[in-house]
Amino acid sequence: MSTIAQGTIRKMNIRQSAVGQITATDGTVITVPAETALQKGLGPKSFDLYNECNQVTPKNSSEVVTDKVPVIEIDHDGEVITGFIVADNYYEMWINNQLVSVDNTPYTPFNSAIVKFKVKRPYTISFLIVDWDEHLGLGMEEFPKPVTPTTTQWYPGDGGLIAKFSDGTMTDSSWKAQTFFIGPLHDPKEVVEKGNIHDTPNLGGRTHPFSRKPTCEFKCYAVHYPIPKNWQSSRFNDTNWPRAWEFTDQEIGVNNLQAYTRFPELFQDARWIWTQNLVLDNVVIARKTVK
């Protein structure tokens, strides 16, 4: 198992979004769970659709007002597009290599965001999404919280992203999605390479409750892949990346996710997406070129 170094901690309600470093078996030092725009102090920070920390809690879609959402300009003669985003847990969103929104609540409580940007077609949307973990670099957390007699310290969390935009663009299986952090694993060989696909086909199902529960705890492994340079750019070649997988509300587990369930109209027809394994894949890049 890699050794975790103390990182910076941003205190949040319920869970801390810790950042640290691990040393891999080949000596590589890796920032975990990921290097993010938030960690680097980059912006703009997300504009809240729903966020308990900031007391933004509209009851339904009719109470949502977008007039004050700042417009991020990519093209001065472009179309102004409004989008609604929910990520489990952290997201940062780029348009044509320009950062347009950084999740202001990287772990929990779950929040949702509104974004506006001005752009011409074709344009490329790129998301970095992180399923944050408490056991850094291993992909596990304490669950459920608040703590109960059934709470385990070594629970493999799951991820997810859903977004819909006013020009008709929405998350679905037409997007490309690649994973860069897979865990927890009993053995790194449990990751099966199939071309550009990093798969874990022999570890039960791809969602809870079917995915295998780890028994290795602090002796678990994880496989980390280097994030490619210029992944945010419209010129980045994702042709050989696997397609995104779609997941249902039930598979994601949205029953207590009011940041999403209060606004069904805003996300109508959009799909939750991730890579092949909703549980074991922890850092994902998702991309879509809108033509």
pLDDT attached to residue 151: 82
pLDDT attached to residue 139: 87
Check: CB of residue 138 under 8 Å from CB of residue 182: no
Is 79 a member of any domain? yes
pTM of the model: 0.92
Phi and psi of 245, rounded to 5°? -95, 140
pLDDT tens for each residue of the chain, 291 residues long? 333 333 333 444 467 788 899 999 999 999 999 999 999 999 999 999 999 989 999 999 999 999 999 999 999 999 999 999 999 999 999 999 999 999 999 878 899 999 999 999 999 999 999 999 888 888 888 777 777 888 888 888 899 999 999 999 999 999 999 999 999 999 999 999 999 999 999 998 899 888 888 888 889 999 999 999 999 999 999 999 999 999 999 999 998 799 999 999 999 999 999 999 999 999 999 999 999
Is 9 a member of any domain? no
Q: How far apart are the first and last CA of the chain?
A: 45
**Mind spelling out the 3-state secondary structure of 249-261?**
HHHHCCCCCHHHH
Where in the sequence is the domain holding 261, given as residue range(s)?
A: 40-290
Is 8 a member of any domain? no
The C-alpha atoms of residue 208 and residue 268 are separated, in whole angstroms, by 24
Is 158 a member of any domain? yes
CA 58 to chain CA mean position, Å: 23
pLDDT attached to residue 144: 72
pLDDT attached to residue 2: 38
Is 14 a member of any domain? no
The C-alpha atoms of residue 101 and residue 119 are separated, in whole angstroms, by 15
Is 246 a member of any domain? yes
Query: Radius of gyration over alpha carbons of the chain, in Å?
Result: 18
Cβ partners under 8 Å of residue 171, min gap 6: 161, 162, 163, 164, 244, 270, 271, 272, 273, 286, 288
For the chain, the domain total comes to 1
Is 17 a member of any domain? no
| Strand 79-88 to 160-165 pairing | antiparallel
Check: CB of residue 140 under 8 Å from CB of residue 279: no
pLDDT attached to residue 148: 83
